[in-house]
Every structure is written in C-alpha cells, then in structure tokens.
Amino acid sequence: MLSPLSTLGIALLALLAPLAPITHASRTYFYVGGNYTLDSNGEHIHSGQIYVEKLTPAVVTQPHPIVFIHGQAQTGTNWLNKPDNQPGWARYFLSQGYECYILDQPFRARSPWQSFNGALSTYSAEHLEQYFTATEKYNLWAQASLHTQWPGTGEMHDPIFDAYYTSTVPFVGDPATQEAAMRDAGAALLEKIGEPVFLLGHSQGGLMAWAVADSRPELIHTIIAIEPSGPPFVEAMWGGGPARKWGLTDTPLKYSPEVSNPETELVKTTVPSNDSDRFDCVLQAEDPPPRRLANIALIPVLLVTSEASYFAQYDWCMAGFLRQAGVQTEHVQLADEGIRGNGHMMFLEENSDAIAELLHGKMQRYATGGGGSELRRAQGVMEI
C-alpha cells in the first residue's frame, strides 16, 4: 500500500512527466518459460522460452507495468523506435513512468525456434503494402482510402518502408501451436513480474493476450487489445471459413457454463451489419443464454480500432462478442476521438504519440479504479 504522501508525490511526478525532454531508462533482459524436451538423440533441448526486455524509467510513477505483445511477423522492436527513427510507444510510456516489458513471442526473433516447433511462414513485402503501409493505393476494403498516417510512400524501396519490412521475421503459422506456447510463457512472465499488469497485445499478439489472460487473470489489471485478430469464429479478410473456434482463440478458453466442445456448445447466430462497409458478425445466440468468458470477464478490456485499418470492418463485432460474454469492454475508435487516418500499424505511424497519450489517459482512469482488481472484488473473487 502506498502512503498518502507517496501517492501525492507520484501524482506530482506524473504531472511533471510530460515536461521531461528525454527519458533515461535502464535496460535489462531475461528469458522465461519453456521447458526441456528430448531431441531425436535422446538429449535435451530447451524450447518455448521467450526473450523479455525490461525497461525501467528513472522514476517509476505508475503502479502497474505494461507488457507488450507484438503481432504476426513482428518482434518486440515494434515498441522501440519507429522505422522513421522517431521514438515509439515504449519511449512515450517510459516518460509517463511505466515499467515496460517487451517480449518476442515464442519461436520468433530472439526467442528461439527449433525445427520441431513447426513450419515457418513469412509475409511478403506486397502483403504489408496492401494491408498495413500503403492500403490507400490498393483500396481492398472501404476504409482503406482513409489511410494517411504511414510515414513515406509505404512501398518497397522507400527507406522507411524498407526499414520496417526488413525488421519483420518468419513465424510459426499454426495458431494453436503459437497460442499454447505463448499462454505458458506469458503465464511464467506474469508470475515473475508478480503484480497486475496492463497487458497490451496488437493484432495476432491480441490472440496471445486472450490466451495469457485466460490462464492468469489475477495478474492482469487491464487488457489493451489493439485490433486483436478477429472477428470471432470466422475469417473475414482471408476468404471466409471457420476460425477461432473458441470465439477469441483457437485454443480452449474457460467459459461458464463450461465448454468442452466449442463447435456444438457455443451456439452461434449471424447478426447482419446493415452497412456495406462492415462485415456481418457471428455472435453467440441468445437462446440458450450466451456463455460467459469466466476468466477474461475478470479483467476490463480497452479495444482500440483505427480509422483506416481492415479491422474497422469488424471490430464492432469483437466488441459485441466480448460484451455478450460478460467482458467489460470500452471500444475506443480513434476517429471518434479525433485521431484520423491510421492503419493497422498505428504505433509506427506519424501520430503514434497522440494515440499513446489517449491510451495513457484511459489507463489512468482504470488505474485509479475500475481495473481488474475492482472487477474481481465486485465478483467476490479472492485477490492475490
């Protein structure tokens, strides 16, 4: 418990923080999670551990650290400086006094991949141009033309695009394998940190945040889901068809009443969007009553959607699914907050600090009440 005096000190420091021109942070790293498995020679190889970089500001003024989980083909560098060499989100949040934990997902970048972890895939430069950096030149969805915030042309041979594309890495394509590994490694990380965190996941890292949250809800203060992979139950952009059979994930989530076969027990219905710019939405049916996400509903969720991303077509459905399953969800649509022209990689774009500032303001509200601890107390769940 903080004394009233130190609380006042922290409030004063938080007020002064925006004036600080440069943030000096100390930097350490560690590996956590994974386990020894036998190789074909009967000898041991350690696999599944994650690389974690811990950045600590000179003065920690925030009671809850942030854990950042990057998306598909990305690494923890997403949160450091941006491809245009401007400071990224880590620098912003450090300047606001948050400890930052930046990980590389299992089997990726500095978290080692072994051949028995599964086949690797890679995104082409064209894929990133079309979906992330130059969406306005392809117009593959209605909102794509609104994209203005990527620095440079967003195309191959532009130095900023090249700096970004060359930072991307191969990834294990099977979502269930990745979720299972990240669920375990993320739980090990949260146990090591030992106090409730803001768990921030972007895109495919958002799937990972659901899996980790389902496993250790008591160690998460608030989930910040930046365009988490979706929508529930189906593929939208990538040709349709079933996906994420547990609603949010491919791997089991704890529901109440419990679910053992999601295909039959999660009864679904399609809600039309009535809007040609948005996908229809598969939700749980109202009869029988929708099942609750027993663990994830112990944590408030900030769902963040940019104006021009392909997620603008279906994050409305993600918000609906979460609320229906009992999750306290605030859907932050950047355009409604006056933050225009962003795509899916919003934290690498020109106005990344404006988005971080908006989130910081909202996180402050959660930190001073209404976070996971409060929700859990209200639901009569024991605090750690």
Ligand X SMILES: *[C@@H]1O[C@H](CO)[C@@H](O)[C@H](O)[C@H]1NC(C)=O
Binding site residues, ligand X, CB under 6 A: 35, 48, 180-181, 184, 271-274
Q: Are 182 and 211 in contact (CB under 8 A)?
A: yes
Q: Measured between alpha carbons, how far is residue 182 from residues 172, 178, 190, 345 in Å?
A: 12, 6, 12, 21
Is residue 203 annotated as part of the catalytic site, yes or no? yes
Closest CA to 343 of 122, 126, 132, 174: 132
> Please, which residue, 38 or 382, has the CB nearer to ligand X?
38
Structure tokens at 95: 């300047």
Distance CA 80, CA 305 (A): 21
Structure tokens belonging to residue 132: 């992330």
Return the closest-CA partner of residue 27 out of 51, 9, 49: 51
CA angle 221, 224, 220 (to 5 degrees): 20
* First-residue to last-residue Cα distance in the chain: 14
Which position among 95, 203, 309, 373 bears the catalytic label?
203
Q: What type of residue is 308? A: A
Least Å distance, CB 45 to ligand X, is 11
Structure tokens at 306: 């940019």
How many angstroms separate the CA atoms of 151 and 189, rounded? 34
- Residue 178 or residue 229: which is nearer to ligand X going by CB? 178
Element housing 50 (H / E): strand 50-57
CA–CA distance, 221 with 369 (Å, rounded to integer): 10
Q: Which is nearer to ligand X, 273 or 333 (CB)?
A: 273
Residue pair 156/185 in contact (Cβ under 8 Å)? The answer is no
Residue 306: CB minimum distance to ligand X, A? 20
Residue 170 to residue 168: CA distance in whole angstroms = 7
Kindly tell me which of 7 and 35 has the beta carbon lying closer to ligand X. 35
Closer residue to ligand X, CB minimum distance, 94 or 253: 253
d(CA 92, CA 55): 12
- Shortest distance in whole angstroms from residue 26 CB to ligand X: 30
Closest CB to ligand X among 188 and 327? 188
The rounded radius of gyration (Å) of the Cα atoms in the chain is 20
Of 279, 71, 319, 52, nearest to 175 by C-alpha is 71
Q: Least distance in Å: CB of 336 to ligand X?
A: 17
Nearer to ligand X, 153 or 273 (CB): 273
Residues carrying an active site annotation: 203
